[in-house]
Amino acid sequence: MHWTTDQSTPSVGRVVVTTRTRSPIRSNVGLKAVMAVTGIFLVLFLIAHMLGNLKVFAGDASFNHYAHWLREIGAPILPNVWFLWIMRVGLLVAVLGHIWAATVLALRARAARPVRYAHRKKVRGSYAARTMRWGGVIILLFVIYHILDLTTGTLNPVGDPSRPYANVVADFAPARWYVTLFYTLAIVALGFHLRHGVFSALRSLGQQTPRGEQRARAVALVFAVALCAGYLLVPFAVLTGLVS
Ligand code: HEM
């Protein structure tokens, strides 16, 4: 909606309303749907990746075999590595879509506020929103580091993409405790991000009552803690010598 003042009749000052067509996806509801769909896709990836990582407890051969299998999914219909690349493109589109929708929504919310708050109200909503923003940035930086570490091997002491088990064990060796610390901080940030994201999604979908909200909060918390624990098991198992 676009409002202008018609000055052709000075004494009247008619207000003229013109409508600028905006694609439905760019409406607030459309952008929230983009956040939800991309978020669900990313959550499914996170669950699958976490379960796959736990294969490290089955030993060297089993973990490497699993990583190798990832490259063959879809064969013989899809040529080698095609599924992996389709997945990578899907993930990239989902991450970019998630960031784009979040940024546009945040900028709109800011523009809709007539004056900046002199002091921020300590309400849960604004605290969570800020956590989401900075949490998102930390997760993005982590994923860039993580790909250079365990996918390309550039920052890994072994750095051999054909030996993922050896890469993981070298990565979280006790002497490299700071890598485990960094992973831990990033995974905890991911946990907070997921807790709020899953809670918001469940609240929108579920019963809009205090009881429904309480249930959504509990489910989101349990999910985030379980996912974080699943991810953290691997570096701590290597750090403590359980996996070597
Ligand atoms: C301690 C926890 C984690 C471990 C041990 C781990 C392990 C790995 C390994 C071994 C690979 C390489 C797979 C391969 O090429 O065969 C990989 C790739 C990847 N991981 Fe993780 N990961 C962890 C946490 C995460 C988290 C928290 C995220 C997302 C926030 C993530 C996102 C990715 C992505 C996007 C790839 C690249 C997939 C590809 O394109 O090949 N990982 N991870």
In CATH, what number is assigned to the domain containing residue 198? 1.20.1300.10
Range of the domain at 221: 25-110+125-240
- The answer to whether the CB of 163 is under 6 A from ligand 1 is no
- The band of 80, judged by pLDDT with boundaries at 50, 70 and 90, is confident
Q: How many whole angstroms from 157 Cα to the centroid of ligand 1? A: 16
What's this model's pTM, rounded to 2 decimal places? Answer: 0.86
CA distance 174 to 169: 10
Interval 160-169 mean pLDDT = 96
Residue type (1 letter), 176: R
Please determine, for residue 127, whether its predicted confidence score (pLDDT) is greater than 90.
no
The answer to whether residue 183 is domain-embedded is: yes
Specify the 3-state DSSP secondary structure of 225: helix
The answer to whether residue 180 is domain-embedded is: yes
- The answer to whether the CB of 227 is under 6 A from ligand 1 is no
Strand partners, 36: none
Q: Which of the two residues, 192 and 22, has the higher pLDDT score?
A: 192
Q: How many whole angstroms from 52 Cα to the centroid of ligand 1? A: 9
Mean pLDDT across the chain: 87
Out of 49, 169, 238, give the residue to mutate to test ligand 1, the one with the largest number of ligand atoms within 8 Å of its CB: 49
Task: Give the count of domains, the chain.
Answer: 1
- The band of 133, judged by pLDDT with boundaries at 50, 70 and 90, is confident
